[in-house]
Amino acid sequence: MYVDVGYLLAAAATRVTGTSLRSGVVISYPDLIAAVIQQAERQSGLPVLRVHWYDSGAKSGGAPDSSQEAIGELPRVKLRLGRLSPRGEQKGVDLRIGLDLASHGRNRVSDLVYLMSGDDDLTEAVEEAQSHGVQVVILAVPDALGRSHAVSRHLLRECDDIMILDPATIDSTVHVRTQASESASCDNSQTGERPVSPVGPAPRSPEASEPSRVAAAPSPSVLAGTRPVARTSLAQTRNSIVYSSSSDGSGRRPAPPADQMTIIDQVCRGVVAAWLGQAGDTDRDGVMREEPFIPNDLDRTLLTDLSARLGVYDIDESTRYALRAHFWEVMHAAS
């Protein structure tokens, strides 16, 4: 089993909080991993050999933090870490997944691979594993309606099948992070468990048990690598940021259509609400002092959520500008 942690956490957070902000949730990793293994074994009728856990090392140089080390010590779990760039972008994770898929397929390490990811960049690696006789099944995280969340259409077309992770698994192991849950206790270095809040599961429709092969949005793991907010002059304010060129020669980008601005407003309000729910006063003051520079994790979340809502892979520059400008409007209104 190959778990793209960036996809897992972004998709799980979206189901629970409505936004892909990774820091907005707390997770009991031992329970989550155990439930995923049980479902895979029950579905396939085969024992799971090993869970490969692909993430970016949280410390400098790609080294694991205490939580990641604890995950790596869980039975049948192998930690496979990439690194974070100075801009907070994930590096080397997709490459590790692709290389492992190809080499394990070539060496016939297993008969069946479950891939928990939606990343289009893994399509060729899936085809390589299949060419050696290995079946590859996508294990998708469910959205709020129980459908597969953010699986690339190309990846979906090339895989042998798709299985939806039991929604109850997400609802029972992933919870909204609050300041109370954050201060209740620290990570347990022996189990990797994190404190959880008493927030109940996300509502589901009667169709939640019906798997869907329709890709709802681009992969969060791909979008997490999009470029961060462009740095502008410190002399510029949130009300006067301009671009060097535009179609009308004014130096400003045209505003998005009204319906798109409605979606931008919803995305910004969701991300701000999720972040403020777990941020302390010091965190808030720090972010406000850096205006107009948006922290990388918040900027990636804004882009990921908007891309998912619009159903597009790449967001044009005008829309990015409007999104970031409106983020500060919502932040000021919330403060």
Instruction: Report the SS3 class of residue 58.
Output: coil
User: Using 50, 70 and 90 to split pLDDT, how confident is the model at 311?
Assistant: confident
Residues 6 or more apart in contact with residue 86 via CB below 8 angstroms: none
Superfamily of structural domain 2-222: 5'-nuclease (3.40.50.1010)
Half-sphere exposure for 268 (CA within 13 Å, toward CB):
23
pLDDT at 252 > cutoff 70: no
Q: Give the bridge partners for 112, in sequence order.
A: 135
- Please give the Cα distance from 164 to 146 (Å, whole number): 8
Short-list 194, 188, 169, CA closest to 24: 194
SS3 at position 298: helix
pLDDT of 229 reads 38
Domain extents for the chain? 2-222, 226-334
Q: Cα 203 to chain center, whole Å? A: 20
Lowest mean pLDDT among 129-133, 224-228, 280-284: 224-228
Q: What's the average model confidence in pLDDT over 220-247?
A: 39
pLDDT tens profile 82-141: 887 776 677 889 999 999 999 999 999 999 999 999 999 999 999 999 999 999 999 999
Angle 302-206-204 (CA atoms, 0-180°, nearest 5)?
35
Q: Among 127-131, 226-230, 283-287, which is the least confidently predicted range? A: 226-230
- Quote the pTM value: 0.70
Burial 269-307 (b: 16+ CB within 10 A, else e): bbbbbbbbebbeeeeeeebeeeebbbbbbbbbbbbbbbb
Find which of 42-56, 222-236, 243-257 is predicted with most confidence, using mean pLDDT.
42-56
